[in-house]
Structure 1
Amino acid sequence: MRVAVDTGGTFTDFVAEAEGRLLTHKVPSTPGDPSQAILSGIKDLESQAGKKVKEVFHGTTVGTNAFLTRRGAKVVLLTTRGFEDVIFIGRQNRPELYNFMVEKPRPVVAKSRILGVNERVLADGTVETPLTQEELERIRNWVRKKNPEAVAICLLHAYLFPEHERQIREALSDLELHISLSSEVRPEFREFERTTTTLLNAYLAPVMERYVARLSRELPGRRIFIMQSNGGLMPAEAVAERAVMTLLSGPAGGVAGAVKLAQALGFNRILTFDMGGTSTDVSLCDQGPTYTREYELEGHPVALPLIDIHTIGAGGGSIAWFDPGGALRVGPQSAGADPGPACYARGGTRPTVTDANLFAGRLLPHRFLAGRMLLKLDLAERALVELTRNRGLTPEALALAILEIVNTNMEKALRKVSLERGYDPREFVLTAFGGAGGLHAAELAKRLNIPRVLIPKLSGVLSALGILTSEPRFDFSKGLSLKISPDYETLKKGFSELRARAESELRALGITKDLIFEEKVDLRYRGQSFEITVPFSPTFEEDFHREHERLYGYRLPDTPIEATALRLTIIQKRPPLEWPLFQGGQELRSIETTELLVSPQKRLRTPVYLWDELPVEAEVSGPALIIGDYTTVYLPEDFRAACDRYGNLHLYPA
């Protein structure tokens, strides 16, 4: 049996495959120690299936949380003398042009823990200032005095000439520290991005290494893989070297699962909408996931290939509150799993989106998580009443306002990844998942004029399903000197050297069979500041001209082309997952009704259907609720829903 685990802020989701059969499970997350929820869930699944787990695929938030809370490792940074302030100067971009009270991102290392190394290699490889044995001894003594857990080394032009970085690592090798070299983490130019990416890797590596080691001890005999931000898996033993690649581990699984399901149904252009208990993640996928190397987390660039995901603090646990000016806000603060929304009866007293949905009749107290968890309607109402005190609002008006505001926040996120990037959302299918996605998807589609919404049968655990269907993937790159002529044979030789290094690393991890290689090259016209990545082939120059014309409306065929980096992606192919057919029921019938709040003064008696009892190809007219094991779908009055042969729901305007 293989099990995929997605650790969220509120729930930990499981999808297991045993002899072609899919099993699902969900348990409350344990934020203090995420591994406890994982161990509990795996034990439940082994008992349910009567089989032992052999492989565990894990999407984790440990690295993300360590960064956001600044609880990473004690780290020091070694850089070329004169470049100690690179990470503080940054690009001097101003995201809020007229904000005089702007706050700079919190650094992960203090200035007192940065050492300027007395060495200098020029861009052409000339050693202007040699790295002496005396300097190595000075570095070693300084590092020992600072007593760090990890060291980040980022020297000028080390992406082309890494010898000095390697010498420093050798000098520190007996201190039992994790050491991240920029020439290995991101061997490309742009000093700021290379430094921050290397520093974040060092900052997270000991945290991730300890977490994976603890998980491995608790799960002896199981092979553990960690989901990466690029949508691929890596063996757990590689996590220390690639810790920074876990920052979007869980959300990447959701995008991967949505893309594979949508493509199986014939949809190649989708907007993914993953609404969980703490946050909402959205991404645009045109023929596959969209990747970026310009991702920033709280102002810190992560210049590695990641799935382009936009995250906002809007989830079922997002707390409603009034700001000092009297305006109602929803999020980004979340009640999380503990204490959770007020209706969880775990001590939470502030109203959340889940409380608003419950009070509005869009959730049924006795059917939450297929009846495994009973929600308290009276506690949700009490929290709403308390917030409306002395504000001239009824609880009904407040509940609808909360839902309106959270929908507006999520609409802005969808616009950011579509309209603001030149894509028309009307040409895409909105693929909604996560525990709360089905409650809001139809209203968002209406706001953006999206003609179809796809809600997967396993939408409540789709991120875990996406992790289960993912394959090991590794990205390698090699920075190039601008003095190198970008002719085909020269670049081909560079790719041969890069492939040899990559295959050597994968052999050490036991990954040697069923490998697919994808080669790409970064190109630009001489004088330009940024590059376009195109597949490497004998026609790469013409492909670059064509892509430049598509993006910017013109080409410069007489201007010399520069190649700045080679990129190699290696994927280990695995057998595709067979999507199980949906059995369904024989006839369409509602099981009960709910009093749906449609205005502050009016409730409407609305039918409720069980998802598992819908006949294949059955159509449901709104308003209605469709309840699954881990998610509830709200169908507004002017929408219809149809069930396909795999049990997925397709929502569209009536």
Structure 2
Amino acid sequence: MRVAVDTGGTFTDFVAEVEGQLLTYKVPSTPEDPARAILEGLRVLSSRTGRPPEEVLHGTTVGTNAFLTRRGARVALLTTRGFEDVIFIGRQARPELYNFLVQKPPPVVARSLVLGVRERVRADGTVELPLSEEEIARVRLWVKQKRPEALAISLLHAYAFPEHERRLAKALADLGIHLSLSSEIRPEFREFERTSTTLLNAYLAPVVGRYVRRLGKALPGARIFIMQSSGGLLPVEEVEGRAVMTLLSGPAGGVLGALAVARAQGFKRIITLDMGGTSTDVALCDGAPTYTREYEIEGHPVALPLIDIHTIGAGGGSLAWFDPGGALRVGPQSAGADPGPVCYGRGGRQPTVTDAHLFVGRLLPHRFLGGRMVLRPELAARALAEMAHLKGLSPETLALSILEIAATNMEAALRKVSLERGYDPREFVLVAFGGAGALQAAELAARLGISRVLVPRLSGVLSALGILVAEPRFDFAAGVRPGRDPASYEFLQRKMAALRKKALSAVKSLGFAERDLAVSESVDLRYAGQAFELTIPFGTDFQEAFRREHERLYGFHLGDRTLEATAVRVTVTVRRPPPVWPPFKGGRALQPAEKTLLLLSPEERRPAPVYLWEDLPQEAEFSGPALVVGDYATVFVPPGFLCAADGHGNLHLYPG
């Protein structure tokens, strides 16, 4: 049995593969101890199948939560003398251009825990000031006095000459603290981004390390992999050294799951909409996931390859509230898993998006989570009525307004990953998943002119499914000195060959067979004088490929102007068999299970059919308004839309 686990803010999802069959399960998350929900779910699955898990693939929020709540390790930073303030100065770009009172994000390291080391390397990799044994002894004494849990070492131009960082690490190795070296984490130029990424890795490593070690002890017979933000799996024994790569662990699984389902239906260009209980994640895939190395979390750069996912605080648990000006807002604050929305009956009193969906009839209280959790509509109605009374509104107006604002927030996110990046959303399929994604997907498609919405059969656990179909992935990079090293094929080929040899050796040392490995190579290029690079597949025509991509993105290229290379990259993927999608039998005739009263306007409630997802006949087409109810997701088909199920049980919504 292989089990994929995705820990979300509200629920922990499981998808298990046993002899080609898929099993799903869902339990409420336990934010104070995420492992508790995981072990409970694995216990239930093992009892159902009669076998323990041989492989556990896990998308985790431990690193993200540790950063957001500032509960990472007590970390110290070693840098070149004179550059102690780089991490505090950052870039000159202001997050709010006209706000004179803008607050900078709090740093993860105290100024008193930053030490300047007497050494200096030039940009060309030559040594200006050697690192002496006396200086190493001084640094060691300082570290012993400060007693940090983790140490980040980011020396000037260490990407060109890593020896000083390695000597320091060797001298400090016996102190029992975690060491993160910039020449290993991000061996590329740009001091601020390299230092920030290394520092975040050190900050998160002890927390993530403790978590995965505990999980390993609780599952001694299973091999554990953790999902990376790049969409690849990382063996658990490597995770502590790459803790920063878990920041988008769960959302990355959702993108892979959506792309796998869409490809099986013949769609390669998709926009994903993952609406869970706490947040909504959106991403664009033009045949493959889109990657970025310009990701920031609360103003802190993480300059490593991550799937380009835009996240907003708009989930089923997002709280509705009035701002000081009297305007209705939705999110980013969330009711979370505990107490959760008011209708959960756990003490919540402030209305949420889920409460609004229940009030307007888009959720059925007795069929939520396949009937395993009964909602209380009277509590949602009372909370909405109390809030509406404050502004002289009707509960109906307030509920529809909450959903309208949530949709507007999600529309802005969808525009950000499509229109703002040069893509026409009308040329893509919207893949909606998560527990709440399909409740508003059709309306969002209509706003953006998207002609088809695909709702996967396993919509409510699609991030876990994406983790199940993911493959182990290892990313390696080597810096190139822009302006000093030539951007010629011959030079870069030698650089790439050395990196490829290092990468294959490292991956094979983890027990993977060379016959299962796939290698891809790329190079970062820019025109001389530019400040940002494009990552281009490496081949004999890489320079022409760069010019084509530059023109596609920006509408022009600069002909034969000199090119600069800044890094070469090698990605090693461990190939696994493609997933076997379970067949969908469906029912024989299109027959509603019941009816619901849908609130379509503040003055109108209209009876609408409710279909059970597993009873839908293949290819049977019906029109909205209607609901389709599955175990972990409900689909709202609005007026003016048609809906049909395909041969794998996925739903297709399109204007009709």
Shorter-normalised TM range: over 0.9
- TM-superposed CA distance for 1:564, in Å, is 1.2
Sequence identity percentage: 69
Residue 599 of structure 2 corresponds to which residue in structure 1?
597
Determine if the alignment matches structure 1 residue 360 to structure 2 residue 365: no
- Matches for 1:529-544 after TM superposition, within 5 Å: 529-544=531-546
1:42-81, CA deviations, whole angstroms, 9 ceiling, x for partnerless residues? 1111111222210000000000000111101110011011
Query: Greater CA deviation, 533-542 or 464-473?
Result: 533-542
CA shift digits 1:314-348 (9 cap, x unpaired): 00000111111111111111011111011101111
Q: Which residue of 2 aligns with 1:488?
A: 489
- Residue 452 (structure 2) pairs with residue 455 (structure 1): no
CA distance in structure 2 between the aligned counterparts of 1:76 and 1:188, rounded to whole angstroms? 21
Aligned to 1:549: 551
Letter in 2 for 1:547: E
Give the stretch that moved more between structures: 70-79 or 595-604. 595-604
* Contact 1:593/1:608 (8 A) holds in 2: yes
Does structure 1 residue 164 correspond to structure 2 residue 164? yes
Residue of structure 1 in register with 2:528 after alignment: 526
Counterpart for residue 181 of structure 2: 181
Q: What RMSD, in angstroms, separates the aligned Cα atoms of the two structures?
A: 1.0
Number of matched residues? 654
Please state if 1:575 is matched with 2:577. yes
1:342 matched to 2:342? The reply is yes
Structure 2 counterpart of 1:473: 473
CA displacement 1:591-614 (0-9 Å, x = unmatched)? 111111112222111111100000
Cα shift at 1:365: 0.4
Amino acid at match of 1:447: R
- How far apart are the structure 1 equivalents of 2:602 and 2:558? 61
Deviation of the 1:504 alpha carbon: 2.6
Deviation at 1:222, TM superposition (A): 0.3
Question: Separation in 2 of the partners of 1:421 and 1:437?
Answer: 23
Q: In the alignment, is residue 213 of structure 1 matched against residue 213 of structure 2?
A: yes
Residues of 1 paired with 2:322 and 2:548: CA distance?
52
Q: Which amino acid aligns with 1:336?
A: G
The CA distance in 1 between the partners of 2:622 and 2:554, in whole Å, is: 45
C-alpha separation between the residues in 1 aligned to 2:608 and 2:531? 58
The CA deviation at 1:561 is: 1.9
SS at match of 1:194: helix
Q: Which residue of 2 aligns with 1:632?
A: 634
Task: Give 2:219's aligned amino acid.
Answer: L
1:423 to partner: Cα distance: 1.1
Deviates more, 1:420-429 or 1:540-549: 540-549
Q: Hey, what does 2:33 align to over in structure 1?
A: 33
SS in 2 for 1:430: strand
Query: Structure 2: how far apart are the matches of 1:638 and 1:295?
Result: 38
Cross-structure match for 2:391: 391
| 1:503 partner letter | L
Q: Does the residue aligned with 2:112 lie in a helix, a strand or coil?
A: helix
Which residue number in structure 1 is paired with residue 119 of structure 2? 119
The 10-residue stretch of structure 1 (477-486 or 102-111) with the greater mean CA deviation from structure 2: 477-486
What does residue 436 of structure 1 align with? Answer: 436
1:509 aligns with 2:510: yes
SS at the partner of 1:365? coil
Give the whole-Å Cα distance in 2 for the aligned partners of 1:206 and 1:508: 24
Give the drift of 1:492.
1.5
| Structure 2: gaps (5+ residues) | none
For 1:330 and 1:216, locate their aligned partners in 2 and report how far apart those are by CA, in whole Å.
Answer: 39
- Bigger drift between 508-517 and 269-278 goes to 508-517
Question: Do the aligned residues in 1 keep the contact of 2:126 with 2:161 (CA within 8 Å)?
Answer: no
Bigger drift between 409-418 and 94-103 goes to 94-103
Query: Is contact 2:624-2:640 (8 Å) kept?
Result: yes
Distance (whole Å) between structure 2 residues aligned to residue 55 and residue 103 of structure 1: 45
Distance in 2 separating the partners of 1:378 and 1:150: 51
Q: Secondary structure at the match of 1:44?
A: helix
Q: Distance in 1 between matches of 2:531 and 2:234?
A: 33
Alpha-carbon deviation of 1:548?
2.5
**What is the alpha-carbon distance in structure 2 between the residues aligned to residue 563 and residue 328 of structure 1?**
49
Partners in 1 of 2:555 and 2:593 — Cα distance? Answer: 57
User: What's the CA shift for 1:95?
Assistant: 2.5
Instruction: Tell me if structure 1 keeps the 8 A contact 2:315–2:353.
Output: yes
Q: In the alignment, what sits opposite 1:12?
A: 12
Displacement of 1:82 after TM fit? 1.1
Deviation at 1:557, TM superposition (A): 3.9
Matches within 5 A, 1:16-95: 16-95=16-95
Name the aligned partner's letter for residue 505 of structure 1. Answer: A
Q: Does the CA contact (< 8 Å) of 1:358 and 1:365 recur in 2?
A: yes
Residue 500 of structure 1 corresponds to 501
1:516, CA displacement in angstroms? 0.5
Q: Where does residue 650 of structure 1 map in the other structure?
A: 652
- How far apart are 1:583 and its partner, in Å? 0.6
State the Cα deviation string for residues 212-246 of structure 1 (Å, max 9, x = none).
00001111110000000000001000001111100
CA distance in 2, matches of 1:549, 1:38: 47
Q: 1:226 maps to which residue?
A: 226
Deviation at 1:389, TM superposition (A): 2.9
Q: Answer yes or no: is the 8 Å Cα contact 1:80–1:120 preserved in 2.
A: yes
What letter is aligned with 1:537?
A: G
Distance 1:160 1:252 in 2: 31
TM-score, normalised to structure 2's length?
Answer: 0.98
Deviation digits for residues 430-478 of structure 1, max 9, x if unmatched? 0000000111101111111110000000000000000000000111100
* Aligned residues of 1:430 and 1:450 also touching (Cα < 8 A): yes
Specify the code of the residue in structure 1 equivalent to 2:353: V
Residues 110-134 of structure 1: CA distance to partner in whole angstroms, max 9, x if unpaired? 1111111111011123321111111
Paired with 2:297 and 2:85, the residues of 1 have a C-alpha distance of: 19
Q: CA deviation at 1:261?
A: 1.1
Aligned twin of 2:563: 561
| 3-state SS, counterpart of residue 16 of structure 1 | strand
Distance 2:20 2:310 in 1: 34
Q: Tell me, yes or no, if the aligned pair for 1:238 and 1:509 is still in contact at 8 Å.
A: no
Which residue matches 1:623?
625
Q: Is the 8 A contact 1:79 1:116 kept in 2?
A: yes
Segment drifting more, 300-309 vs 533-542:
533-542
Residue 486 (structure 1) shift: 2.4
Distance in 2 of aligned mates of 1:71 and 1:231: 25
**Match of 2:303?**
303
What secondary structure does 1:172 align onto? helix
Name the SS for the 2:464 alignment partner: helix
Is the CA contact 2:422–2:553 (under 8 Å) kept in the aligned structure 1? no
Whole-angstrom CA distance in 1 between matches of 2:19 and 2:125? 56
3-state SS in 1 of match to 2:463 = helix
Q: Does 1:257 align with 2:257?
A: yes
User: 1:534 Cα shift?
Assistant: 1.2
Q: TM-score, normalised by structure 1?
A: 0.99
Aligned counterparts of 2:549 and 2:598: Cα–Cα separation in 1: 51
Q: Take 2:553 and 2:343, find their aligned partners in 1: how far apart are those partners?
A: 50
User: Secondary structure of 1:346's partner?
Assistant: coil
- Displacement of 1:87: 1.3
Matched, 1:290 2:290: yes
Tell me what 1:427 maps to. Answer: 427
Q: Which residue of 2 aligns with 1:375?
A: 375
**Cα distance in 1 between the residues matched to 2:545 and 2:405:** 45
In the alignment, the residues of structure 1 paired with residue 188 and residue 420 of structure 2 have an alpha-carbon distance, to the nearest angstrom, of 29
8 A Cα contact 2:316 2:436, kept in partner: yes
Matches within 5 A, 1:188-199: 188-199=188-199
The Cα shift of 1:518 comes to: 0.3
Shift of 1:361: 0.6
Give yes or no for contact 2:624–2:642 (8 Å, CA) kept in 1. Answer: yes
Separation of aligned partners in 2, 1:481 and 1:448: 43
Structure 2 Cα separation of the partners of residues 556 and 325 of structure 1: 50
Alpha-carbon shift at residue 545 of structure 1 (Å): 2.6
**268-277 or 385-394, which deviates more:** 385-394
